[in-house]
A and B are shown apart, each in its own frame.
Chain A
């Protein structure tokens, strides 16, 4: 349910009454929101078509164009309406989103145009409702693929650039996996392909009988026995190349165990092993029979082509994924063969000189008949045998023809499904990340608002920053609510960065925790009014408590102090950018030397890219302010920075 937050805000604020008896600090005063009529009707004119809706409806989604103050840019004072020079048909869907909370995808419009409209009105494509999401994604994917194909046709298609300074191993692996990256890799790719072909052809040609032109002997030899040296040399060369390739791959593989277990490496091993076994085995007649059998495995070299052919890999994969259907086919065929072979055997038992000597012997007849081959080497002679034989051939057609379309459709379904599932999985991660990003925008809005000095008690509007003043009524009330929660619990919301820094300070010395507990506990029943309150006083208390004891501790102490103080310079310096009164600058001067040293502290590891991105205005502002202060520093700063960094 895409809740229209603005509707429920009165309820959330009312429920905050439950915090009141628990609050240990006085709660901040409510924002003076000008009492606007909640149900005024707005007119939105989109290229001449007028849409009328309540203001409340548009206010439901304050982070879009129509819900925020951005629409004031489009306000036409003469006619009293908001004018947009966009497509009115698409606007209907956008407006329905505000009304119902679900964004539907128009079937007959171009998906690109729809995307552009969404981007204009500030709606994220992830808001498309579940009913239309599948179709939206499919059409978008189609579009993207079509555009990508055009682009690829133009470019030569270079692979992603390797990071500079990658080891030989990484470069080698990349060259193996993606032959188009460099010329050497391409040459290697084609050379291995050529040698695979040569090896396979040599295996085949070896067995062709060569007519010996010199002597007219009746005995014809296969070429392999006529030119044994030539074939042996060729075989050796091929095996040397294959062995070299295998060893190089093994060296370059990022995970050697995984590489050893992969199918391609097994094929490589099977392709070259017979040769080595043949070398080791002596030329003994007993063993040479087995040795000849081993040469059969040389045909597996043809599977090495699957590295060169995408289609072969896909075929192998789909066969693997259709294993159950193939198994079913095999099972039903086996059942049928056994039944018919038994029947034929008993039908032909009476005849003498029959081919059907046993049931297994009848298997051959059944298979040949059911697959409609009909070699004719085994034929029934009795009438019963002929009748059953014809039933066998008819049912053979049925048995084989029926599961095959099932298997074929399974192939295509599984194939497409796998492709789509992989893409959807990748998209799902991105989708969730984007939604999280959009959500964290609201989280960080309050933190930024605090940093902008919005929580200062100055009542005069001139001194407050422009950005603080221009928040919508909803934002004001929401921030007031969050501020009340902070005051109830005597804790403040921060972002991950300052939290982890504070955590580091706590684990180092434990001084900050002690000092906060001193300052946060009320000293008596009557002191609830004063207690933990103003932020500055609290931090000054920490600073004093730390600095008195820091003389004895040394550099470890300074680190605590710095971490504890880190918060205090930042808001002042940021608000100083917003033309705050001059007293804040004095505080800056005091803490200048400490602020500069923060740069050399190694950053805590708990910084996820997601979090750091939305808070980058805040974080970046802080960093820039710290750098700025350091530039004002006196030369006496440097000994301090050196001291810290030597930690």
Chain B
């Protein structure tokens, strides 16, 4: 009878032990914290004023108390802005563009540097950043597959319910149009110089680049 009771009790304790360890592990992970460099340094490095940096940091810190944004959070944020469709792929490419050091997490400095380029940078800098976004494998060239991925990600954000109804080859057509315009020497890839040249020729793009200036 003692054996019976012994086996019974040991079964129960075996179940309880693993769950305790898991909780402790989780607590440890959230303690990792990151603090950004000083305010003056950031002000010197970017085109924002002190007050703007303050507002940005307060918002950032509130959403990410640990000081870093990881890719899942990025995707969640973007999904809330584009509830119609699936923004996860575009958010993934954006995240890679923000995460210049490829560490897997975006710190406040990376965040502010990218925002500074996009909102307050010169035309040249903005276009270079966009080229970097399109160049998924960061080899310095944009080929058709990379462009297809990007365009498909953008169309995914539109979602299912569009007018007119989205057709299967619309992304491909869009990419073809883009390459027609950008690829000067028709070699199937777009280099940075071709990209910059083509964009500067297009008045539309030049005008639109000024659009997001007053976001702050």
Instruction: Give A residues with C-beta under 8 Å from B.
Output: 1, 3-5, 7-24, 26-27, 29-30, 33, 35, 38-39, 54, 56, 99, 332, 335-336, 395, 398-399, 402, 439-440, 442-443, 477-478, 481-482, 484-486, 488-489, 491-496, 498-499, 502-503, 506, 512-513, 516-517, 520-522, 525, 528-529, 567
Residue from B163, B177, B212 in contact with A30 in the complex, judged by beta carbons closer than 8 Å: B212
A442: chain B residues within 8 A (beta carbon): 83
B166: chain A residues within 8 A (beta carbon): 491
Question: How far apart are the CA atoms of A418 and B150 in the complex, in Å?
Answer: 49
The residue on A at minimum CB distance from B131 is: A21
Check A21 against B130 for contact (C-beta < 8 Å): yes
Check A492 against B209 for contact (C-beta < 8 Å): no
B82: chain A residues within 8 A (beta carbon): 482, 485
Check B163 against A336 for contact (C-beta < 8 Å): no
Contact flag A525-B180 (CB < 8 Å), given A56-B58, A493-B162 = yes
A14: chain B residues within 8 A (beta carbon): 114-115, 118-119, 212, 215
Check A513 against B167 for contact (C-beta < 8 Å): yes
Question: How far apart are the CA atoms of A440 and B83 in the complex, in Å?
Answer: 8
Question: How far apart are the CA atoms of A256 and B32 in the complex, in Å?
Answer: 62
A493: chain B residues within 8 A (beta carbon): 84, 158-159, 161-163
Contact flag A499-B154 (CB < 8 Å), given A4-B62, A17-B209, A336-B1 = no
Check A29 against B211 for contact (C-beta < 8 Å): yes
Contact flag A22-B173 (CB < 8 Å), given A56-B55, A489-B158, A498-B163 = no
Question: How far apart are the CA atoms of A332 and B214 in the complex, in Å?
Answer: 78
Check A10 against B216 for contact (C-beta < 8 Å): yes
List CB contacts (< 8 Å) of B54-105 with chain A.
Answer: 54-56, 58-60, 62-63, 73, 76-78, 80-84, 94, 97
A38: chain B residues within 8 A (beta carbon): 55
Chain B's nearest CB lies how many Å from the CB of A133?
18
Interface centre among A39, A395, A496, A499 (most CB of B within 10 A): A499
B204: chain A residues within 8 A (beta carbon): 23, 26, 528-529
Contact flag A478-B62 (CB < 8 Å), given A494-B161, A494-B163 = no
B164, CB-defined interface residue at 8 Å? yes
A16: chain B residues within 8 A (beta carbon): 212
Check B163 against A18 for contact (C-beta < 8 Å): no
Residue from B59, B81, B97 in contact with A478 in the complex, judged by beta carbons closer than 8 Å: B81
A336: chain B residues within 8 A (beta carbon): 1
The residue on B at minimum CB distance from A5 is: B80
Check A3 against B174 for contact (C-beta < 8 Å): no
Check A23 against B205 for contact (C-beta < 8 Å): yes
Interface centre among A38, A478, A481 (most CB of B within 10 A): A38
The residue on B at minimum CB distance from A12 is: B81
Interface centre among B60, B173, B180, B204 (most CB of A within 10 A): B204
Chain A's nearest CB lies how many Å from the CB of B98?
9
Chain A's nearest CB lies how many Å from the CB of B181?
7
B51: chain A residues within 8 A (beta carbon): 39
Question: How far apart are the CA atoms of A191 and B138 in the complex, in Å?
Answer: 84
Residue from A5, A11, A398, A521 in contact with B1 in the complex, judged by beta carbons closer than 8 Å: A398
Chain B's nearest CB lies how many Å from the CB of A96?
13
The residue on B at minimum CB distance from A522 is: B177
A481: chain B residues within 8 A (beta carbon): 81
Contact flag A516-B164 (CB < 8 Å), given A30-B214, A522-B177 = yes
B4, CB-defined interface residue at 8 Å? yes
Check B158 against A3 for contact (C-beta < 8 Å): no
The list of the 3 closest CB pairs from A to B, nearest first, reads: A7-B59, A14-B118, A499-B161
The residue on B at minimum CB distance from A496 is: B161
Contact flag A443-B78 (CB < 8 Å), given A494-B162, A495-B161 = no
Check B165 against A499 for contact (C-beta < 8 Å): yes
A395: chain B residues within 8 A (beta carbon): 1
Check B165 against A506 for contact (C-beta < 8 Å): yes
Check A11 against B177 for contact (C-beta < 8 Å): no
List CB contacts (< 8 Å) of B24-76 with chain A.
Answer: 51, 54-56, 58-60, 62-63, 73, 76
**B192-209 interface bits toward A, Cβ cutoff 8 Å, 1 = contact, 0 = none:** 000100010011110111
Question: How far apart are the CA atoms of A107 and B163 in the complex, in Å?
Answer: 50
B56: chain A residues within 8 A (beta carbon): 10
List CB contacts (< 8 Å) of B114-171 with chain A.
Answer: 114-115, 118-119, 126-127, 129-130, 133-134, 150-151, 154-155, 157-167, 170
Instruction: Give B residues with C-beta under 8 Å from A.
Output: 1, 4-5, 51, 54-56, 58-60, 62-63, 73, 76-78, 80-84, 94, 97, 111, 114-115, 118-119, 126-127, 129-130, 133-134, 150-151, 154-155, 157-167, 170, 173-174, 177-178, 180-182, 195, 199, 202-205, 207-209, 211-216
B60: chain A residues within 8 A (beta carbon): 7
B58: chain A residues within 8 A (beta carbon): 39, 54, 56
Chain B's nearest CB lies how many Å from the CB of A542?
9
Check B209 against A512 for contact (C-beta < 8 Å): no
B164: chain A residues within 8 A (beta carbon): 491, 502, 512-513, 516, 520
Residue from B63, B94, B180 in contact with A15 in the complex, judged by beta carbons closer than 8 Å: B94
Check B214 against A489 for contact (C-beta < 8 Å): no
Q: Give chain A's interface secondary structure class.
A: helix
Check A567 against B126 for contact (C-beta < 8 Å): no
Given A442-B83, A486-B158: 17 more A-B contacts, CB < 8 Å: A5-B80, A11-B111, A14-B114, A14-B119, A21-B127, A23-B205, A30-B212, A33-B214, A99-B62, A491-B166, A493-B162, A498-B163, A502-B163, A506-B165, A512-B164, A517-B167, A525-B180
Residue from A29, A499, A506, A522 in contact with B160 in the complex, judged by beta carbons closer than 8 Å: A499
The residue on A at minimum CB distance from B61 is: A7
Check A10 against B119 for contact (C-beta < 8 Å): yes
Chain B's nearest CB lies how many Å from the CB of A308?
39
Chain A's nearest CB lies how many Å from the CB of B8?
8
What are some 25 contacts across the A-B interface (CB < 8 A)? A1-B63, A3-B63, A3-B76, A11-B77, A11-B111, A14-B118, A14-B119, A17-B129, A20-B209, A21-B182, A21-B195, A22-B151, A27-B208, A332-B4, A488-B154, A489-B155, A492-B163, A493-B159, A496-B161, A499-B165, A502-B165, A513-B165, A520-B164, A521-B173, A528-B202
The residue on B at minimum CB distance from A440 is: B83
The residue on A at minimum CB distance from B216 is: A10
Residue from B94, B180, B207, B215 in contact with A10 in the complex, judged by beta carbons closer than 8 Å: B215
Question: How far apart are the CA atoms of A520 and B173 in the complex, in Å?
Answer: 11
Check B205 against A20 for contact (C-beta < 8 Å): yes
Residue from B59, B127, B129 in contact with A8 in the complex, judged by beta carbons closer than 8 Å: B59
Check B73 against A18 for contact (C-beta < 8 Å): no
Check B154 against A26 for contact (C-beta < 8 Å): no
Question: How far apart are the CA atoms of A525 and B83 in the complex, in Å?
Answer: 34
Interface centre among B84, B151, B203 (most CB of A within 10 A): B84
B76: chain A residues within 8 A (beta carbon): 1, 3
Check B154 against A489 for contact (C-beta < 8 Å): yes
B130: chain A residues within 8 A (beta carbon): 17-18, 20-21
Contact flag A525-B181 (CB < 8 Å), given A5-B81, A14-B118, A19-B154 = yes
Check A3 against B111 for contact (C-beta < 8 Å): no
Question: How far apart are the CA atoms of A21 and B181 in the complex, in Å?
Answer: 10
The residue on B at minimum CB distance from A11 is: B115
Contact flag A12-B77 (CB < 8 Å), given A336-B1, A502-B164 = yes
A12: chain B residues within 8 A (beta carbon): 77-78, 81
Check A20 against B208 for contact (C-beta < 8 Å): yes
Check B157 against A485 for contact (C-beta < 8 Å): yes
Question: How far apart are the CA atoms of A19 and B199 in the complex, in Å?
Answer: 12
The residue on A at minimum CB distance from B161 is: A499
Check B199 against A21 for contact (C-beta < 8 Å): yes
Question: How far apart are the CA atoms of A11 and B57 in the complex, in Å?
Answer: 12
